[in-house]
Amino acid sequence: MTKFKTILSYIVLVLASFLSAFPLYYMFCGATNTSIDIVRGRLLPGTHLAENFRTLLSNQNLGLAMYNSFRNAIVITVVTLLVCSIAGYGFEIYHDKGKDILMSILLLAMMLPFVAIMIPLFKMFSSWKLVNTWIALALPSISTPFMIMLFRQAARSFPHDIIEAARLEGLSEIKIFFKMFIPVMKSTYGAAMTVTFMNAWNNYLWPTIILQDKNQLTMPMLVANLKSGYSVDYGMLMLGVLICTLPTAIIFLCLQKSFANGITGAVK
């Protein structure tokens, strides 16, 4: 019976792995085939990768979109980690009932879908004459209730005795945070970095609304442009989707251990 359960578990794991990896394999096959082959359902790699890449470069400004997406994702990730970690650290280390009430309000904000606040946000930034600026793109993303909660939960496992000892040694609160808290919480920062980078890179709705200049094109916007028109070149589209997916997949694969440790550590 035990052997049967082991075999069944392996079968389930193999099927789950296949279902998880198949979309990536299908994107790769589509990127190397013609549009006709993709419509016919071809599931083997082809020989049209270079042709699809040349077509993509001739139709869209791929270099500009990659630069804008990397710039936006990296800067938003760095600022978000700094702001949310300081906020989560402050909520826990300088704990009082008022901060608990404020944290409850922030958690309630997580229940609001972005589409519910999208129009008020646009009106607010429009009245401040910030439409089509990087500030308007980044401000709604650099401080999120989930990230603050993640760092607050992580701060609960941080030994308060170390903080007291550091204060007795004469370290300032800023030095305690940067020299002691950040190095200890590297796994939490890895998890937060993974989630924030993926959200910033894949963000489509808000950049489409707030960025009205063609020079602010991002990769999700570029992929959406590939579907416009009367006919769609599916080979070029699949290649665009594959290129758009690779950075987030690489980030996740490189930080998956820190992601798992950070998430489980924050829950404990």
Residues 245-261 pLDDT 10s: 999 989 988 888 777 77
* pLDDT for res 33: 93
Residues 6+ apart with CB under 8 A from 201: 69, 72, 73, 219, 220, 247, 248
* pLDDT for res 264: 64
Q: For residue range 49-108, what is the model confidence (pLDDT) as tens digits? A: 999 999 999 989 999 999 999 999 999 999 999 999 999 998 988 888 888 888 888 888
User: Token match 């409850």: residue?
Assistant: 104
* pLDDT for res 266: 47
Looking at every residue in the chain, the average pLDDT score rounds to 88
Helices assigned H by DSSP within the chain: 2-31, 35-40, 49-59, 62-93, 97-109, 114-127, 134-138, 145-156, 160-168, 173-176, 182-184, 186-202, 205-210, 219-226, 234-267
* Per-residue tokens: 147: 């990230």
Share of the chain above pLDDT 70, in %: 96
* Per-residue tokens: 200: 């910033």
CB atoms within 10 A of CB 76: 22
Q: Are 140 and 112 in contact (CB under 8 A)?
A: no
* pLDDT for res 172: 87
SS3 label, residue 268: coil
User: Token match 């609960």: residue?
Assistant: 156
The residue type at 56: L
Q: How confident is the model at residue 159 (pLDDT cuts 50, 70, 90)?
A: confident
The mean per-residue pLDDT over the stretch 136-144 comes to: 89
The mean per-residue pLDDT over the stretch 198-216 comes to: 91
| Alpha carbons 29 and 47: distance in angstroms, whole number | 10
Q: How confident is the model at residue 267 (pLDDT cuts 50, 70, 90)?
A: very low
Residue 180 in this model has a pLDDT that exceeds 80: yes
* Per-residue tokens: 222: 């570029």
| Alpha carbons 219 and 203: distance in angstroms, whole number | 9
* pLDDT for res 213: 85
Which range among 87-101, 121-135, 190-204, 237-251 shows the weakest confidence by mean pLDDT? 87-101
Q: Structure pTM?
A: 0.88
Which range among 122-126, 163-167, 207-211, 214-218 shows the weakest confidence by mean pLDDT? 163-167
CB-facing half-sphere around the CA of 225: CA atoms within 13 A? 16
Q: For residue range 10-61, what is the model confidence (pLDDT) as tens digits? A: 899 999 988 988 988 999 999 999 999 998 888 889 899 999 999 999 989 9
Q: How confident is the model at residue 1 (pLDDT cuts 50, 70, 90)?
A: low
